[in-house]
Structure 1
């Protein structure tokens, strides 16, 4: 469930990078392939939505092993970093009818668990405020 209350405490006009942690079902809940297959359908719909709001995927990859910290509960399958020019842009996408009806069902069918953590820049080799989609 989207934490609107927590997001509204952030600066709505500040850029944000969302850290996505995902664990997939072995089989999609709708019976159409694996959880990964459902996630790919979700991504195909959401990436254009992200770009339409000025955002972009920064990085994605497989989670391979817990290197430090508790192992229990941290067996993620996939990680993604997604840039949005504002927190408001993220909220706009996540609460849009198109997201809720077209994209989110694929996410729910594919992901056993999906955590999104809003981050703000403390240090970056790249300045978020001047980020341009390449």
Structure 2
């Protein structure tokens, strides 16, 4: 994500050491902006680069899937193609990845080519059936 779009101020207000799950909402371009396949193809190139970056910071993909239909709420502005839940052990780990030179030069161009729109929402766990404590 281009650093100018990253809400660093808002993220810095969060507990930097607390785990965070990032809810990613994506709408793909029909064609990749660089002309190399579809938006989905560009997203796969982005994922191939970012998944090792996420894992290298102690994070993991929890779930990904196609957004199929609006079940409740306004349709306008909510036409998403894909959803991903990504766990990071801390907000600081997410910020470290997103502001790294490697992300900016190697990964983000593919994301920009792939996505007509990409929103990431930082979440704090209220309940999880997977909690072990």
Match of 2:127 among 99, 111, 123: 123
Cα RMSD over matched residues? 1.1
| Stretches of 4+ aligned residues off by more than 6 angstroms | none
1:102 aligns with 2:106: yes
Partner Cα distance (2:59, 2:77) in 1: 29
Tell me the alpha carbon deviations over residues 29-84 of structure 1, each in whole angstroms, 9 at most, x when there is no partner.
Answer: 00000000000000000000000000000000000000000000100000000000
Number of corresponding residues: 129
Partner Cα distance (1:124, 1:10) in 2: 20
Partner Cα distance (1:2, 1:73) in 2: 20
Gap regions ≥5 residues in structure 1? none
TM-score, normalized by length of structure 1? Answer: 0.94
Tell me the alpha carbon deviations over residues 99-122 of structure 1, each in whole angstroms, 9 at most, x when there is no partner.
Answer: 000000000000000000000000
Match runs of 1:46-65 below 5 Å: 46-65=50-69
Partner Cα distance (1:2, 1:45) in 2: 19
Deviation at residue 19 of structure 1 after TM alignment: 0.1
Match of 1:33 among 31, 37, 40: 37
Deviation at residue 127 of structure 1 after TM alignment: 2.6
Match of 1:16 among 13, 20, 29: 20
